[in-house]
Amino acid sequence: MNANIFPTTDTTFPIDVLHSSTPVLVDFWGEWCGPCKALAPMLEQLAADYGGRLKVAKLEMDRNPKTAIAYGVRSAPTMLLFKDGKVQATQTGLVSKAQLAKVIDAVL
């Protein structure tokens, strides 16, 4: 994993994401999810491209159901972009890197 991508859990989510001074893109994913695996290299590229301006967190939904339920995440992959502790954008499903960059740019 790249330095700007880190795992988060139900326990660490408030500190990792909600209290982050940097916007955080959270990837809600599952081990069983093929599209999630296809998305991983794109997230690594985006984390590098937006280094210092954006962090990327990965939350494995089966092991951390409380956070997924709290934000109404029902399918993987779902990405929520948090800024100042609030969801600013949502993207569900496998999309292109350009599409995801558009969502990020609109918030940053």
Query: The domain that contains 16 carries what CATH number?
Result: 3.40.30.10
For the annotated catalytic residues, the residue numbers are 33, 36
Domain housing 61: 5-107
Q: What is the DSSP string of 20-47?
A: -SS-EEEEEE-TT-HHHHHHHHHHHHHH
pLDDT in tens, 1-58: 566 799 999 999 999 999 999 999 999 999 999 999 999 999 999 999 998 899 999 9
Residue 59 near residue 67 (C-beta atoms within 8 A): yes
Structural domains of the chain, count: 1
pLDDT at 4: 73
Burial of 8 (0-12, 13-18, 19+ CB in 10 A): buried
